[in-house]
Chains A and B, each alone.
Chain A
Amino acid sequence: MRSLSVRFAVMLATAAVAPLLVYGAVSVYSLREGTHRTVVDGSANVARQVGEQVRRYVRTNLQIFQALVVDLANTDLTLEQQDHILKNFVLRFPEFRELTVFDRAKAIVASSAVGPPRLKPPVDSVVGPLGVAMSPVFVDDDVLPTSFVTLPFSLGSEGDGWLVGEFSIEELWRMVDRIRVGDSGVALIVGPGGVLLAHGNPSQRPLVARGTKLSDHPVVAALAAVPGETPVVREFRAADGQRMLAVGVRVPELGWFVLVEQPTREAYATAMLHERELLAAIGLALLIMILVGSIWARSLIRPIVDLTAATGAIAEGRLEQRVTIRSVTELSRLGQGFNRMADRLVELQDDVRRQERHAVFGKVAAGLVHDLSHPFKNIQNNCRLVLKMHDDQEYRELFRRTVEREFATVKRVFEDLHNIVRPMPVERFPVDLNKLAADVVETMRLNADTAGLSLELKPTPEDAYVEGDIIALGRVLRNLVLNAIEATPPLGRVTVATDTADGFVRLQVSDTGCGIPPERIATLFDDFQTTKRQGLGLGLASSKKIVEQLGGTIRAERHVAKGAVFVVELARVRPPRRAVG
């Protein structure tokens, strides 16, 4: 029935589990893809916003710087007035820590500095937004991000000059400090040449102070390689071994990059949580489905299993076995039919047993009548004769032998019958089968003579000792010889022979009678089976039980034309040592 369960499980898997798994796989894939897009879009939006804030911040300050130039240009202000304007300007706009005007010869014209100006005309500036030249951003001696900005202008009658400003871009750091994506996602600003300008993680700010270049950063490299506004997305392994998701955008006008970095573990944390929940739900559904399917399958298969077991029990003869099927289905009706069939079998078996008992009883009775009537008839006849011839000494002796013989026959019948019903215990002593055969042949010779047969003994010249009960074995041999005498027509011959081979002693009784029909061979040693027309047929059955009790075998060999041969084989033992003296 296991195959039925397996088939049922396969049916369940095909019908429900497989679709559920497919659904789960599709859902997980969709969830991952959707989350990836959402996270990337979110980070890109953050990066764009930061970039726009940076652009506006720088542009606004450069516009302020430009406005100062407008105030100073072509106005022919006195040096004191210019100085005053510059000092006021740095107080109003603290992003500009110092402002100094240089003339064409790069000499200082005016400055916001109280003492000697620190600023010098820059040499490495590149023109940025609004035509203002900006030097590369650097971290100054006071650990603040700074850039020198320069704009040429006309000093009026003094000729051309430059306004140079020390532009403190601290707000850049504040901007990235304010950006947090998740718990640890931060923003970075990268300047020209991949120089790190700002890092949202304060502990990484020393990288800014050292002027670290991020040219090898995968996002920076990609942004530098491909111009355009499209965000660049990369996943990579950071120096600390952590997998990171980085999204970068270009800051318009400035040529800077804004990067938003977040550990992938954190970026996809929600998706992973939902994925785990989904997998758990699918797993739970699977479990419930398997559990329910199993319970259901059990309820369906159990009656079949019960029926199978009950059928097996009936086949083994346990006709009391019944099945109980509670469901109201065809299986229930099948169970009821099975039970009715079993009931009927019991009735039939009882009938058969009754008939068998009657048959056996009849057979036993007939056999007893047959086997006992002749001895009793002989005794009865001899008793009548002895009344007339009691004076005859010779007859009395004959009478005595006849009575003894017939009673021996009766006794043997009873012993066989008793042995069939309750086998007698056998003793085990070394028995010389040659001697036993000689004794039996001698005692049965009168029977053979009476039947007009010749009874021959062919003993083996070797020792033919077996371990056995001499009385029981004598009874076996007498039965075989008597059967042979009875089955052999006058002038026939009955031979008793012994032989040894392969550790056995073989005792063989053969005759020249009518032989054994082939169909009788198989049941020859069963109880109440006989080749004779009448009689109990217990001799061979009793003989077989005795031989088997002694560990030997007995068989009949088919010689229909030449008569029958019965062979008894018993284990050969050493002859007992004779007592000395």
Chain B
Amino acid sequence: MSGGLAAGLAAAVFALACSGPSPPTESDDPVTLTIGVPQSRQLNPTHSISTLVATLTDERLSAIDAIGRTQPRLVEHWTTSSDGLTWTLKLRQNLRFHDGSPLTSADVKRSLDAVMNDRTRAVASVCLADAESIAAPGPLEVAVRFSRRCSFFLDDLLITITRTLPDGTTAGTGPFVLVSQDETSCTLEANDRYHLGKPAIERVVFRSYSTLREAWAEMLRGSVDFLWEVGPDSAEFLRDQASVEVRSFTNYYAYTIVPNSAREPFSRPEVRRALSLAVDRAALLRHALRGQGVVATSPIWPHTWARKAETTPLPHAPDEAVALLRQALGRPEHVPRGSSPLFTFTCLVPQGFTVYERLALVVQQQLRAVDVDMRLESLPADVVNSRVMAEGDFDAVLLPILGGPSLSVLNRLWHSPSPSPLWNFWGYRNASVDAALDALREAPDEAHTRAAVAELEAALRADPPGIVLVWSDTLQAVSRRFIVPESGNGRDALHVLGAWRHHPEEARQP
């Protein structure tokens, strides 16, 4: 998802999230977790308080674990018919919205219908576009009939189920309820009716900070318990604080220079492959992210269960890249390197973020070594969004591109034709990739899924849609007053906040 899109959506969700129902009764001394959200130039701009709040207030039908497998959440279990076309979902008993009203199959059907019928929301679903019918045969049972087999349906269940209240606000079913909000903070309280039990943390307060330094200072003063994201530059010096545990997980997006396939010479697979060969990803990771991440080998999220654990790294072969480029561009081979650029293009870079700037500079230097002149145009994120998605006026753009955790995201991004101008706006087309994605979509079991993913990865490496660079790590700092469960290892600790425990023996720092 692009930064502009994320920012827009985040603002909308924040507005919705912070207009929740009236607060429940407070206890005298609630266990409170204060979450600091810094707005740092080191960080990716795709996250905002609103999206984080929604994570806690709106429960999804299913959830994703640390290796990308779908786990039941509001749905207790599911079955498929022998032909694989009918899915029957069984909801948990005693599910209730924050206002106390019960969640039934009718609510789920209404949400799935909305996704299926709303073209804007349908971009979030791969399978529902092929749904023939959605029925609620029982109060806790939902049956979906498809016209074609679709193994991504479990990923489609990652949608949240909410109910619009008479006052126009929405009620979710998540572990926390939004009770108040102002310009810089949101307060949530534990949901007594949460189906997995009331969380041990009774109150959550989100606070926004203009700088990481400000947020970190507040954490060291004991005013903040959980720093949602710290930048890679600071990680080295923040890790060794005795009162704080610094955790990390690999983000679901890879920093990628996405070329516009509609423009020359990027329509040629050889050029895209040559550019990919020209990049030294290890150096990128070292210089731009200070080692806080994973070198990308393909656009597929490296930790997904369906992918082979050991994958050959993408080679750094500048000589081969030059040869490929000269061949693709019809340039004579005897011309010495460095005399003149083979071609020049402009890469749009979202403005104001150190990570993007460093990545762009290092890639620029590395491409210069293969006689490619990548010029950098730093623009505000909304301008980049407009140029890229609305106008299509770009040679290339540096963006974080999703690669997981669910496999359906790969279908949305790389299958042609694109289901929406919000996905694959760069016009990538490759028959092998489409075939592999189709096989993945119709995979009847895990073995077929693994085979399809391997096929897809091979096709994406042979014809890379862009210069996939690195998967960055998100670093989070948690006060030792709280204990994050093991289920939070390798993933965003916020996603398991309902299972956090308070460590009463650890006092706040003065």
Name A residues whose Cβ lies closer than 8 Å to a Cβ of B: 87-88, 90-91, 94, 97, 112-116, 139-144, 170, 173, 177, 202-203, 205-206, 209-210
With contact pairs A116-B351, A209-B213 given, residues A202 and B361 touching in the complex (Cβ less than 8 Å):
no
Please report the C-alpha to C-alpha distance between residue A177 and residue B241 in the assembled complex, in whole angstroms: 12
**B217 proximal to A (CB < 8 A):** yes
**B364 proximal to A (CB < 8 A):** yes
- B66–chain A nearest beta-carbon distance, Å: 28
Name B residues whose Cβ lies closer than 8 Å to a Cβ of A: 40-42, 210-214, 216-217, 220-221, 231, 233-234, 236-238, 240-243, 287, 349, 351-352, 354, 356-357, 360-362, 364-365, 376, 378-379
- B122–chain A nearest beta-carbon distance, Å: 36
Please report the C-alpha to C-alpha distance between residue A116 and residue B379 in the assembled complex, in whole angstroms: 9
Please report the C-alpha to C-alpha distance between residue A459 and residue B234 in the assembled complex, in whole angstroms: 132
Please report the C-alpha to C-alpha distance between residue A144 and residue B211 in the assembled complex, in whole angstroms: 12
Let me know if B287 and A141 touch, CB within 8 A.
no
Chain A residues, Cβ within 8 Å of B354: 97, 142
Nearest-CB residue, chain B, relative to A206: B220
Please report the C-alpha to C-alpha distance between residue A490 and residue B210 in the assembled complex, in whole angstroms: 149
Please report the C-alpha to C-alpha distance between residue A205 and residue B357 in the assembled complex, in whole angstroms: 28
Say which residue of B241, B349, B364, B379 sits within 8 Å of A87 (CB atoms). B364
User: Which 7 A-B residue pairs are closest in the complex by CB-CB distance?
Assistant: A115-B378, A141-B211, A115-B351, A202-B240, A206-B220, A114-B357, A114-B378
Among A113, A114, A203, the most chain B Cβ lie within 10 Å of the Cβ of: A114
A-B contact sample (12 more), CB < 8 A, given A143-B238, A209-B216: A87-B364, A91-B287, A112-B361, A113-B378, A114-B376, A115-B378, A116-B351, A143-B213, A143-B234, A143-B237, A202-B240, A209-B220
Please report the C-alpha to C-alpha distance between residue A142 and residue B235 in the assembled complex, in whole angstroms: 10
Some 24 contacts from A to B, beta carbons below 8 A apart, are A87-B361, A87-B364, A87-B365, A91-B365, A94-B287, A113-B357, A114-B351, A114-B357, A114-B376, A115-B357, A140-B213, A141-B210, A141-B212, A142-B211, A142-B233, A142-B354, A143-B212, A143-B216, A143-B238, A144-B237, A170-B237, A202-B241, A202-B242, A209-B213
Chain A residues, Cβ within 8 Å of B241: 202-203, 205
Chain B residues, Cβ within 8 Å of A205: 237, 241
Please report the C-alpha to C-alpha distance between residue A210 and residue B241 in the assembled complex, in whole angstroms: 16
Say which residue of B216, B231, B243, B362 sits within 8 Å of A203 (CB atoms). B243
Please report the C-alpha to C-alpha distance between residue A143 and residue B230 in the assembled complex, in whole angstroms: 10
Please report the C-alpha to C-alpha distance between residue A116 and residue B352 in the assembled complex, in whole angstroms: 8
With contact pairs A91-B362, A114-B361 given, residues A142 and B42 touching in the complex (Cβ less than 8 Å):
yes
Nearest-CB residue, chain B, relative to A141: B211
Please report the C-alpha to C-alpha distance between residue A143 and residue B210 in the assembled complex, in whole angstroms: 13
Please report the C-alpha to C-alpha distance between residue A209 and residue B217 in the assembled complex, in whole angstroms: 7
Please report the C-alpha to C-alpha distance between residue A140 and residue B40 in the assembled complex, in whole angstroms: 11
Nearest-CB residue, chain A, relative to B362: A91
- A86–chain B nearest beta-carbon distance, Å: 10
With contact pairs A113-B357, A202-B242, A209-B213 given, residues A173 and B378 touching in the complex (Cβ less than 8 Å):
no
- A556–chain B nearest beta-carbon distance, Å: 101
Chain B residues, Cβ within 8 Å of A114: 349, 351, 356-357, 360-361, 376, 378
Nearest-CB residue, chain B, relative to A118: B41
- A177–chain B nearest beta-carbon distance, Å: 8
Please report the C-alpha to C-alpha distance between residue A91 and residue B366 in the assembled complex, in whole angstroms: 11
Nearest-CB residue, chain B, relative to A84: B368
Please report the C-alpha to C-alpha distance between residue A209 and residue B354 in the assembled complex, in whole angstroms: 20
Please report the C-alpha to C-alpha distance between residue A170 and residue B231 in the assembled complex, in whole angstroms: 15
Please report the C-alpha to C-alpha distance between residue A206 and residue B216 in the assembled complex, in whole angstroms: 9
Let me know if B234 and A142 touch, CB within 8 A.
yes
Chain B residues, Cβ within 8 Å of A91: 287, 361-362, 365
Let me know if B213 and A202 touch, CB within 8 A.
no
Please report the C-alpha to C-alpha distance between residue A457 and residue B213 in the assembled complex, in whole angstroms: 134
Please report the C-alpha to C-alpha distance between residue A97 and residue B290 in the assembled complex, in whole angstroms: 13
- B300–chain A nearest beta-carbon distance, Å: 29
Please report the C-alpha to C-alpha distance between residue A203 and residue B233 in the assembled complex, in whole angstroms: 18
Chain A residues, Cβ within 8 Å of B42: 142
Please report the C-alpha to C-alpha distance between residue A170 and residue B235 in the assembled complex, in whole angstroms: 12
Please report the C-alpha to C-alpha distance between residue A94 and residue B42 in the assembled complex, in whole angstroms: 15
Please report the C-alpha to C-alpha distance between residue A488 and residue B40 in the assembled complex, in whole angstroms: 145
Please report the C-alpha to C-alpha distance between residue A173 and residue B237 in the assembled complex, in whole angstroms: 8
Please report the C-alpha to C-alpha distance between residue A142 and residue B351 in the assembled complex, in whole angstroms: 17
Please report the C-alpha to C-alpha distance between residue A98 and residue B375 in the assembled complex, in whole angstroms: 18
Please report the C-alpha to C-alpha distance between residue A102 and residue B212 in the assembled complex, in whole angstroms: 29
Chain A residues, Cβ within 8 Å of B211: 141-142
Chain A residues, Cβ within 8 Å of B351: 114-116
Chain B residues, Cβ within 8 Å of A87: 361, 364-365
Nearest-CB residue, chain A, relative to B43: A142
- A573–chain B nearest beta-carbon distance, Å: 93
Chain A residues, Cβ within 8 Å of B212: 141-143
Please report the C-alpha to C-alpha distance between residue A205 and residue B236 in the assembled complex, in whole angstroms: 13
Please report the C-alpha to C-alpha distance between residue A139 and residue B364 in the assembled complex, in whole angstroms: 30
Let me know if A139 and B213 touch, CB within 8 A.
yes
- B36–chain A nearest beta-carbon distance, Å: 13
Chain A residues, Cβ within 8 Å of B364: 87
- B195–chain A nearest beta-carbon distance, Å: 40
Chain B residues, Cβ within 8 Å of A97: 354
Let me know if A210 and B287 touch, CB within 8 A.
no
Say which residue of B41, B234, B237, B376 sits within 8 Å of A202 (CB atoms). B237
Chain B residues, Cβ within 8 Å of A88: 365
Chain B residues, Cβ within 8 Å of A141: 40-41, 210-214
Let me know if B378 and A116 touch, CB within 8 A.
yes
Please report the C-alpha to C-alpha distance between residue A375 and residue B360 in the assembled complex, in whole angstroms: 161
- A82–chain B nearest beta-carbon distance, Å: 15
Nearest-CB residue, chain A, relative to B378: A115
Nearest-CB residue, chain A, relative to B39: A141
Nearest-CB residue, chain A, relative to B377: A114
Chain B residues, Cβ within 8 Å of A140: 213
- A376–chain B nearest beta-carbon distance, Å: 120
Nearest-CB residue, chain B, relative to A208: B237
Please report the C-alpha to C-alpha distance between residue A170 and residue B234 in the assembled complex, in whole angstroms: 10
- A393–chain B nearest beta-carbon distance, Å: 135
Nearest-CB residue, chain A, relative to B38: A141
Let me know if A144 and B243 touch, CB within 8 A.
no
Please report the C-alpha to C-alpha distance between residue A91 and residue B379 in the assembled complex, in whole angstroms: 21
Please report the C-alpha to C-alpha distance between residue A94 and residue B361 in the assembled complex, in whole angstroms: 12
Please report the C-alpha to C-alpha distance between residue A203 and residue B221 in the assembled complex, in whole angstroms: 11
Chain A residues, Cβ within 8 Å of B378: 113-116
Please report the C-alpha to C-alpha distance between residue A142 and residue B215 in the assembled complex, in whole angstroms: 10
Say which residue of B41, B210, B240, B357 sits within 8 Å of A142 (CB atoms). B41
Nearest-CB residue, chain A, relative to B238: A143
- A111–chain B nearest beta-carbon distance, Å: 11
Chain B residues, Cβ within 8 Å of A143: 212-213, 216, 234, 237-238
Please report the C-alpha to C-alpha distance between residue A141 and residue B212 in the assembled complex, in whole angstroms: 6
Chain B residues, Cβ within 8 Å of A142: 40-42, 211-213, 231, 233-234, 354
Nearest-CB residue, chain B, relative to A140: B213
- A145–chain B nearest beta-carbon distance, Å: 9
Chain B residues, Cβ within 8 Å of A203: 241-243
Nearest-CB residue, chain A, relative to B233: A142
Chain B residues, Cβ within 8 Å of A90: 361
- B398–chain A nearest beta-carbon distance, Å: 10
Nearest-CB residue, chain B, relative to A203: B242
Chain B residues, Cβ within 8 Å of A209: 213, 216-217, 220
Nearest-CB residue, chain B, relative to A205: B237
